Chains A and B, each alone.
Chain A
Amino acid sequence: MERPTVAGRALKTAVLTAIVLAVLYPFGLAVGTSLTGRAESVANGGGYVLLPAHPTLEAYRLILSGGAVTRAVLTSVGITLCGTALSLLCTVFLGYALSRRGMLGGRPILMMVLATFLFTPGMIPTYLMVKELGMLNTYQSVIVPVLVNAFNVVVVRAFFQGLPDELFEAARMDGAGEWRMMWRIAIPLSKAVIAVVGLFYAVGYWNSWFSALLYIDDHDKHPIQLVLRQYIFRGGAAQGTDVAIVRDLPTASVQMAVLVIALVPILLAYPFLQKYFTKGVLTGAIKG
């Protein structure tokens, strides 16, 4: 086929560069601002600085000195680790069982999972259920109501179904039961897809803030995203202990330092997500 014209190539390059910059600029700005000291920030109209002349870790030192942000980070780490582990176990168990042909009740159970795509029970009935179970104001309330994602079950199930039958037959000959076969055959051969599903759960738990707003009144139990919201949209610190910090430092730097902290785990997980999500998840979904 013919080569693209010079003008066409130039236009494409310009558009793509603009898109890439539009995505990356806010990241750079947030990091730069979080490293900006007081004097420079005041001299600079809005307080947002892309490249601070004298970078300082002042903002981080202050917010990580044991106030609401430190506690919120620990809370979020705990919620993310526990939530992801529980979600993964339930998803893999269910996905494995539903991948076995001819299981008693397999069909109705699969239908029951798929039906959840069509409708949602709604916020109020779910809220009342959480309340009924006595989970208001507990860490469980941000995990249990979103424990299993039907889409992830379908993806894991499709992947297990793609594994060669002979492996399972051979294991059965050797006297292995389903439990053994799941742990020894299915799971080790599906590490990639399980990793992706796990990362998606983890990102979901780390980024979630509304369920905490909905279910948890106790500020001491709030996750980092909710504290970040407090800093950025409510114009101030979440807790009394942090008010002094905000007085001493330019608001923008503190806000962006909290934002960067909320962002770091996502950036760390991103290369792994990127490596797998196009091949792992999409092939799984298409096969299903």
Chain B
Amino acid sequence: MVVSTAAPATEVQVGARPQRRTLRDRLRRDWTLLLLCLPGVLYFVVFFYVPLLGNVIAFKDYAPFLGIDGSPWVGLENFVMLLEEPEFWTAVGNTLQITALQLLLYFPAPIALALLLNSLVGNRVKRLVQTVVYLPHFLSWVVVVAMFQQVIGGAGTITTFLAAHDVTIGNLMADPELFKLMATAQVIWKDTGWGTIIFLAAITAIDVSQYEAAAIDGADWKRRLWHVTLPGIRPVIIMLLILRLGDILSVGFEQMVLQRDAVGAEASEVIDTYIYYHGVINGDWGMSTAAGLMKGLIGAALIYAANKLAHRFGEQGIYR
């Protein structure tokens, strides 16, 4: 408190000479703020930056009893072994297939729903629908998958209803062939509503006079959608696409773990589950860290590339 009461005196003349202030003065003035930063900074150091360095075990033959320092260096051996492992390529293939399905089926869904919501005349109905469709976003994956199970699982209501009418669809939730589609359907159910928020905000930001001008020029709703609304939200669509591209190698880790018993590893193994089961469960520490490191680097490179591409096409992207 002694130090902070000294603050006003120095502060009064602040505008005059910020550059002449010495480090000691600033430390005296800012020590409370620095102390406030401490817990958060400590967190990011311990659980972000140090583990980031911990990725060196991708280049080591890590053994828990030797520790990170004590384990011998093996160069790129972990990476070579990983790339020769067929199971890893299954995981990569599954990941890319699910990403493709999500881009194709999930990505447009919030845009479509936002446009639909925006076209509603009554505010009451819009509010009501929004309240309902945002809700699933806040459920845990355990709850979401359980909800799918009770409706279209082996004993689900739709399954038994159809069976009673001589239509057999079997257990959709345990069919390895259909798993990737089911996983995408779960994402659609959970996050389409939530995803509309950002698009609705973008639509609201469009200048109303553009619509008026278009209407005066005789544009019907289809043309207004095509020439006003969609161009208006294009920067947001592109920004989200870039972000999704950076995340191309991570798809619904929790979903996969939950449904692994039902559909098997062959259908549900993705890169993240590969890392979990091979690393934490089987103790292939070095190899699975190598997989994680590669995934992270490819993701960062993809974001960078996609952002560059967006600039090339005259878009804002996510950063400059």
A-side interface residues toward B, CB under 8 Å?
1-2, 4, 12, 15-16, 19-20, 22-27, 29-30, 33, 45-48, 50, 89-91, 93-94, 96-98, 100, 102-106, 109, 112-113, 116, 118-129, 133, 144-145, 147-148, 150, 153, 172-173, 175, 177-179, 182, 203, 206-210, 213-214, 225-226, 228-229, 232-234, 252, 255-256, 259, 262-263, 266, 269-270, 273-274, 277-278, 282, 286
Contact = CB atoms under 8 A, between A and B. Distances in A.
Interface in B104-158: 113, 116, 119-121, 125, 128-129, 131-136, 138-143, 145-151, 154-157
Contact of B51 (A129, A203, A214, A233): A129
Nearest to A266: B138
Contacts of B16: none
A19 B113 contact: yes
Interface string B48-87: 1111111101000000000010000000000000000000
B142 A209 contact: yes
A274 B134 CA distance: 8
A116 B50 CA distance: 12
B34 A256 contact: no
Contacts of B23: 104
B114 to A, nearest CB: 13
B98 interface: no
Nearest to A91: B40
Interface in B300-318: 300, 303
Interface in B277-311: 279-280, 285, 288-289, 292-293, 295-296, 299-300, 303
Given A19-B113, A20-B133, A123 B279 contact: yes
Interface of B: 1, 4-5, 7-8, 11, 18, 23, 26-27, 29-30, 32-34, 36-37, 39-41, 43-44, 46-55, 57, 68, 113, 116, 119-121, 125, 128-129, 131-136, 138-143, 145-151, 154-157, 159-160, 163-164, 189, 193, 197-198, 201, 211, 215, 220-221, 253-254, 257-259, 261-262, 272, 275-276, 279-280, 285, 288-289, 292-293, 295-296, 299-300, 303
A207 B280 CA distance: 22
A270 B138 contact: yes
Contacts of B189: 22-23
Nearest to B39: A90
A199 B206 CA distance: 31
A26 B55 CA distance: 42
Sorted from nearest, which 8 A-B pairs have the closest CB atoms?
A177-B4, A46-B155, A125-B54, A94-B40, A122-B292, A121-B51, A207-B140, A125-B51
